[in-house]
Amino acid sequence: MGEKSLGDRIWYKNWPPQVPKCLDYPECSLSEFLQETVSKYGDKTAINFLDSTISYNRLWDLVRRLATGLSNLGLKKGDVCALMLPNSHQYVVSYYACQLLGVTVTAINPTYKALEIQHQLRDSGAKALIVLDAVFTEAESGLKDTPVERVIGTNIVDLCGFSVVKRFLGKLLKKIPTGKLPDDAYKFTQLIETDPNPPVVAVEPTEDIAVFQYTGGTTGLPKGAMLTHSNVVSNAVQCEAWVWKRKPGMGLIGVLPLFHSYAMTTVMNSAIRLGGFQLLFPRPPADMSELFAVIQKYSPKEGFILPGVTTLFNKINTHPKVKDYDLSSLIMAISGAMSLPLEVQNRFEEVTGSIIVEGYGLSEATPATHANPLVEELRKQGTIGLPYPDTDIKIMDEETGTKELPPLPFAVARTGGLTPEQSLEADEYTGELVVKGPQVMKGYLNRPEETASTIRDGWLYTGDIACMDADGFTMIRDRAKDMIKYKGYPVFPAEVEDLLHRHPDIHEIAVIGLPDEEVGELVKAFIVLDPAKRGQVSPDEIIGWAKDKITHYKVPSLIEFRDELPMTMVGKVLRRVLREEELAKIQGK
């Protein structure tokens, strides 16, 4: 796109001088992207996981070995391989081995239940599944009636260099999670023993799909955003440029899951782009002192970057022992996925000495499109910042999506976003945020109608309601199409409704989010039971049933039985009415 094509956008007057307005993007596949870093930093650490490290040279060797093994199993360019793995050495190796073969990756949340797994495997057309043995029991049920032909199993410590004795004792004492795999499953450890001789595959970066990134929506089950090699590479390059304090050898802390596009880009691919290392956690630490201890232990002289969400930063802020650890190596943090309250931002900077800025993105944009400048005097708290290099944005009217709205006639303050008075004035300048840039997806897999409504003339219609101030800073004013944010996890009401509708006693259902200080938003379900079952089913029974069918953060925390739900004349449930009723109750307390 480039600086010229964007013209004199208003956000340029507050542009951080350390960041170019347009960038040079390598025309390469993701495997070539990795190979370039290996050629520069081969002996440097690429991954640190469970106190074990892998260098870039070793990572590339493992990628080539696994790619050869997968090719020998019949995987070829254009096929799809599902990864059902937590953050680990194996996740990164598997992701890049697939890219070397021109095989599309679709990553499945390891906490998913059978129905969710089955949907993604079917919809993506996955021919192979690389899965952690400890979660295979659920995956096994989800494999039924899917196109998966090969299952490759791995244990969490397979690449950690643990001795046979240590692994045996660990499993015996249940310190290393494990699980039984089927007899016909292939072992990850055997595939990487293959001599590295992968086939040479020609990948067209702007056309070939690197990732099917599954995301929810307003209707039905999740759909796959088709992200090309160019999309993924471009967004990593944009992220690297934005964090201008970067240095080769830095650590990017991977508390967020790599199966989500946020960490895929801001942790895994950004670390590779800048020649840094990924400090990976298999799950978010239950106690933040675990995180503090690891930051203090590994403390690279180049510093750490911590991508995270508000709930993570709030846990750090409020931990009673946060001051007992040396966190001076933490030099910057990026907050995404949900709004960053001013008090959380200020407290985090106080207790860590690190600057933290809020950004914004969505899976359809790989995901990052905005961030606040990493310059204290330029950033605006209460906003999502400025568009990334080569990223153009507009605010379009909500009703037709065809009329561009002007920026606000005023600039908001450096702290706090819109005041109550400004909020009223801002209403006529508020509409749908649309973006255009090299990170915008190709479209949705097998959904031409939804693709056409979401991408129009190259512009991605985000569904988020926003306005832009006179300095070019964007403020998100409303939720993305009813999406609920529970501890930073996106929960789409339609998906929860679709799955809960499978309960034999549920006649009608509507799901909304309710504000909660601790988790962001609680998931509440309004249920109309089958007339013959009314009075015979309890909320706890519904929740218990849901826990076996849906991953934990999508399970409703609150259930309310009703005789009927508010609906439009064509039979569409009015979630808005339910939400307004609940908010009125909260405000009336």
Q: Residue 231, class by beta-carbon neighbours within 10 Å (0-12 exposed, 13-18 middle, 19+ buried)?
A: buried
Q: Which residues contact 369 (CB under 8 A, 6 or more apart)?
A: 360, 361, 362, 387, 388, 391, 393, 435, 437, 439
Q: Is residue 172 part of a domain?
A: yes
3-state SS class at 528: strand
Domain boundary among 357, 387, 420: 357
The phi-psi region of residue 264 (left if phi > 0; otherwise alpha if psi is between -120 and 50; otherwise beta) is alpha
Domain boundary among 327, 357, 387: 357
Give me the pLDDT at residue 342, please: 82
- Whole-angstrom Cα distance, residue 304 to residue 97? 27
Domain that holds residue 65: 25-335+349-357
Mean pLDDT of 124-136: 97
pLDDT band at 326 (very low <50, low <70, confident <90, very high): very high
Percent of the chain at pLDDT exceeding 70: 94
More confident residue, 59 or 586: 59
Q: How many domains does the chain have?
A: 2
Q: At what angle do helices 30-41 and 56-72 cross, to 10 degrees?
A: 150
CB 126 within 8 A of CB 80: yes
Mean pLDDT of 334-338: 87
pLDDT of 570 over the 60 cut: no
Give 314-354 as a DSSP string.
HHHHH-TTGGGS--TTEEEEEE-SS---HHHHHHHHHHH--
pLDDT of 2 over the 50 cut: no
Chain centroid to CA 447: how far? 21
147 and 286 part of one domain: yes
Of the candidates 192, 212, 235, 254, the residue with the CA atom closest to the CA atom of residue 67: 192
Q: Residue 184, class by beta-carbon neighbours within 10 Å (0-12 exposed, 13-18 middle, 19+ buried)?
A: exposed
Q: Which residues contact 142 (CB under 8 A, 6 or more apart)?
A: 112, 113, 114, 115, 116, 117, 118, 121
Give me the pLDDT at residue 253, please: 98
- Whole-angstrom Cα distance, residue 418 to residue 465? 14
Of the candidates 112, 120, 218, 119, the residue with the CA atom closest to the CA atom of residue 494: 218
Q: Is residue 404 part of a domain?
A: no
Mode of pairing for the β-strands spanning 223-228 and 128-132: unpaired
Which stretch of 220-229, 475-484, 520-529 has the lowest confidence by average pLDDT?
A: 475-484
CATH number at residue 107: 3.40.50.12780
Of the candidates 330, 378, 383, 341, the residue with the CA atom closest to the CA atom of residue 360: 383
User: pLDDT tens, 448-492?
Assistant: 999 999 999 999 999 988 999 999 999 988 665 677 888 888 787
Mean pLDDT of 260-272: 97
Give me the pLDDT at residue 305, please: 97
Which stretch of 125-129, 321-325, 508-512 has the lowest confidence by average pLDDT?
A: 508-512
Which run of H or of E encompasses 34? helix 30-41
Q: Is residue 33 part of a domain?
A: yes
CATH number at residue 506: 3.30.300.30
pLDDT of 59 over the 80 cut: yes
Give me the pLDDT at residue 3, please: 44
Mode of pairing for the β-strands spanning 277-280 and 45-49: parallel
Q: Which residues contact 421 (CB under 8 A, 6 or more apart)?
A: none
Beta-strand ranges (E) seen in 397-458 are 431-436, 443-444, 455-456
CB 394 within 8 A of CB 404: yes
Give me the pLDDT at residue 419, please: 80
Which run of H or of E encompasses 489? strand 489-491
Q: Is residue 75 part of a domain?
A: yes
Mean pLDDT of 35-61: 97
Q: Is residue 6 part of a domain?
A: no
- Whole-angstrom Cα distance, residue 98 to residue 85? 14
Give me the pLDDT at residue 191, please: 98
Round the average pLDDT of the chain to a whole number and report it: 91
Q: Is residue 557 part of a domain?
A: yes
Q: What are the residue ranges of helices labelled H in 334-455?
A: 342-352, 420-426, 448-454
User: pLDDT tens, 386-441?
Assistant: 999 999 999 999 888 999 999 999 999 998 788 877 877 888 898 999 999 999 99
Give me the pLDDT at residue 166, please: 63
User: pLDDT tens, 65-97?
Assistant: 999 999 999 999 999 999 999 999 999 999 999
Give me the pLDDT at residue 558, please: 95
Give me the pLDDT at residue 141, please: 93
Give me the pLDDT at residue 311, please: 82
Give me the pLDDT at residue 360, please: 95
Give me the pLDDT at residue 22, please: 95
CB 96 within 8 A of CB 34: yes
Give me the pLDDT at residue 218, please: 44
pLDDT band at 172 (very low <50, low <70, confident <90, very high): low
CB 121 within 8 A of CB 144: no
Q: Is residue 271 part of a domain?
A: yes
User: pLDDT tens, 531-548?
Assistant: 889 999 999 999 999 998
Give me the pLDDT at residue 1, please: 44
pLDDT of 219 over the 60 cut: no
CA distances from 379 to 271, 308, 319 (A): 24, 18, 27
pLDDT of 571 over the 70 cut: no
Mean pLDDT of 214-235: 86
Q: Which residues contact 223 (CB under 8 A, 6 or more apart)?
A: 123, 214, 215, 216, 217, 444, 445, 447, 450
pLDDT of 233 over the 60 cut: yes
Residue with token string 């064509």:
570
| Residue 245: both structure tokens together | 């304090």
Domain boundary among 357, 390, 408: 357
185 and 36 part of one domain: yes
Give 117-158 as a DSSP string.
HHHHHHHHT-SEEEEEGGGHHHHHHHTTTS---EEEEE-TTT
Q: Is residue 117 part of a domain?
A: yes
Rounded to two decimals, what is the model's pTM?
0.86
Residue with token string 């034999």:
504
Give me the pLDDT at residue 586, please: 85
The dihedrals phi and psi of 89, each to the nearest 5 degrees, come to: -55, -45
pLDDT of 349 over the 50 cut: yes
